[in-house]
Copies of this chain bind each other. A is one copy, B any other.
Amino acid sequence: MPDTQVVVVPQSADLQSVIDSLSARGKERGPQGPSKFILLSGGSGSPEDWPGSLGLSSWGEDGDARAFGNPLTLNPKPEPGRRTDRPVEAKPLSSATFPSKEQDSSPLNDSLTNIQWLGGMCSDGLGSGAGGRASEKENQEPCAQRLQLSQHLDGAQRPPYSYMAMIQFAINSKPDRRMTLKEIYTWIEDHFPYFRNVAKPGWKNSIRHNLSLHDMFTRETSPDGKISFWTIRPEANRCLTLDQVYKQLKPAVPQIKKVAIPISSERKMKPLLSRPESYLVPIQLSLSPSLFLPSVQLPLAAPPQNCSSLAAEFQGGGKRVRIAPKCAPPPVEEFKEDPLCVSLTLGAPAAPNHPAQRVARGSRRKQYLAPPPREEPVLLFPDSTFFDSGLTSDLSASQDTGLDSPGRACAFKTPIKGSRPASSTPSKPIGSENAAASSSSSLPSPWRTSPRVTDARDVLDFSPIRGPLGPSLTPQNQNRTPPFGFGFDSTPFREPPLFSSPRELLTSSVRRSPASWGRCPGQLLPDRGPGPGHHERQPEQDPGGHQLLGPGGRGAGRLQPQLVTPHPIAQVTPPRPPRAGLLTKLLTPALVSR
């Protein structure tokens, strides 16, 4: 049902206004816009938290106590000048005109107009106070103190994407997927006015930081050495584009857009850390029909599998939406306190109670210790496990409480990756990825072995787009065809995408054939030939991934249903939110004064 959107509505929200808003947005969206909506009751939140009226809390007053312009202190430049090269904010806010010139970047073919965080070019009359020491450094006040006016439509809403994601958007928007730093800046400013109009100049520092930090991004130098271009390691490039985040590429594939409506929750974070509480993300829903409104039936491929999701948007009382889910199959039976899962059809039960496949307990994920052993762990990989977009979903909530509790075949514990996922190139046997970390040659044997237990967990597809090939249930981790087809790239993967954390996803490579690296679907690469024979050096094979969103314990199996249960309007009864904790408080509205 490509024209369908699932909308999670705060309990306290006015349903009619939601509907009105959605209808309006659907019109803006044009013919491709969703015409049907699935409404789910979400956590809390009041109408004033809605996109347009979000108050952008308190990041202008940061002040920070650091004497900025002490002209006599010659301490080495606290980030030199570095003002935005765009004319905006160049002068001390003298009623700038925001020429919005230099729309030189990629064509704005993204139909961005309907996204709430994408306001138009700021056209406010600024000129507010505090303009004295005009910010010339990156570590300065936000570009515009003019927050009180036009709190929307000028990028007041920070986009919900992480820097890493935005950089990927930017680079992948170019046909050759290569961008200079300045171009990245410009692209982001053009597509996310927040950064031009609102963010402090330090955001450019963060861009550079991300480029350097993540080895997904590599720098290439022009032959003459004069120009540096940033690229995405082809093995790691999931070819994320901003388009894909809200525009479906292949209507044939069932896709549902999802709108998370913000829940009030004030942050004390620094400006760029605090995120808007809602945004549009595309996901491929794979929920059992019982989760939906009675009238809705998803034309799923295989037998409808479970695999969670949805609730993602509400974790932490409207924290932020998770894109690129860490989707792990729920344990087969036996699991306790997993409200959403209860009503879901479970994947084909893998060999239950597979001994030696699970770490006794203790696992905050990551802890890449050893590559998955040849005897593949039991990995539940139900059909509907994969989500089209990076919407966070994870029903692997089963806390893995009792150690070695029987009946929990798919424990999904501490996936292993051999501290570097590298080396399993097509030219080499897959088993060659033994580059591992756990070979500390002096460990007492119990220590060596235990972490090597290779339960797959979390994991799966972070791709915002879904290929037509529906993922097939692969309980034995064989013949699996992870949904990395990417629409046009149909190269199947021999190995299932096994990674346990966003970081790994981000850093590691795409589990596609080298021939398909860098071949992204769609019109983004019109001038590029299929380039099939190009994979000179076969990089390490590994599932590539990316994280769209901000900080948080993404490394672990997220979206514990008990934490984020969206109280679906459908029949699914929230089976008692177990062990609420602080997050429960967040889900209960009005506690936050605001």
Report which A residues bind B (CB closer than 8 A).
Answer: 61-67, 72-78, 176-178, 212, 215, 218-229, 231-235, 265-268, 316-317, 319, 359-364, 366-371, 403, 414, 418-423, 425, 428, 432-444, 446-451, 514-515, 517-519, 525, 528-529, 531, 534-540, 555, 582-583, 585-586, 591-593
Contacts and interface: CB of A to CB of B under 8 A. Distances in A.
A324 to B, nearest CB: 19
Nearest to A80: B582
B222 A446 contact: yes
A555 B78 CA distance: 19
A441 B64 contact: no
A82 to B, nearest CB: 14
A441 B63 CA distance: 48
A571 to B, nearest CB: 30
Contacts of A225: 359-363, 403, 450
A518 B443 CA distance: 9
Contacts of A359: 221, 225
A124 B205 CA distance: 41
A593 B73 contact: yes
Given A441-B535, A539-B439, A367 B65 contact: no
A507 to B, nearest CB: 9
Contacts of A221: 359-360, 362-363, 367, 414, 450-451
Given A423-B423, A592-B73, A519 B220 contact: no
User: Which of A219, A231, A359: most chain B Cβ within 10 A?
Assistant: A219
A470 to B, nearest CB: 27
A177 B450 CA distance: 17
Contacts of A422: 420, 422-423, 435, 540
User: Which of A67, A235, A359, A420: most chain B Cβ within 10 A?
Assistant: A420
A423 to B, nearest CB: 3
A464 B517 CA distance: 41
Given A442-B519, A537-B436, A539-B435, A419 B233 contact: yes
B403 A514 contact: no
Given A73-B593, A212-B366, A440-B534, 15 more contacts: A75-B265, A76-B317, A215-B368, A219-B367, A220-B369, A222-B447, A222-B450, A229-B447, A420-B420, A422-B422, A422-B540, A423-B540, A441-B536, A442-B518, A442-B528
Contacts of A367: 218-221, 228
A519 B555 CA distance: 32
Contacts of A535: 439, 441
| Copies of this chain assembled into the complex | 2
A525 to B, nearest CB: 7
Contacts of A420: 215, 420-423, 539-540
A221 B415 CA distance: 13
A108 B16 CA distance: 70
19 contacts: A73-B592, A75-B268, A76-B317, A176-B443, A220-B369, A220-B443, A222-B447, A222-B450, A225-B363, A225-B403, A418-B537, A420-B420, A435-B540, A436-B539, A437-B539, A439-B536, A440-B518, A441-B531, A442-B518
B178 A419 contact: no
- Which 7 A-B pairs rank lowest in CB-CB distance, beginning with the nearest? A441-B534, A423-B423, A422-B422, A225-B360, A225-B361, A225-B362, A434-B537
A449 B537 CA distance: 12
Contacts of A555: 212
Nearest to A315: B76
Given A366-B212, A439-B537, A592 B423 contact: no
Contacts of A220: 367, 369, 438, 440, 443, 447, 450-451
A434 B425 contact: yes
Given A215-B420, A442-B176, A582 B435 contact: no
Contacts of A583: 76
Contacts of A234: 437, 439-442
A585 B540 contact: no
A266 B592 contact: no
A117 to B, nearest CB: 21
Contact of A442 (B366, B371, B428, B525): B525
B224 A517 contact: no
Contacts of A437: 215, 218, 233-235, 539
Contact of A447 (B178, B423, B434, B593): B178
A76 B316 contact: yes
A593 B72 contact: yes
Contacts of A449: 223
Contact of A423 (B75, B77, B432, B448): B432
A592 B517 contact: no
Nearest to A537: B434
Contacts of A72: 591-593
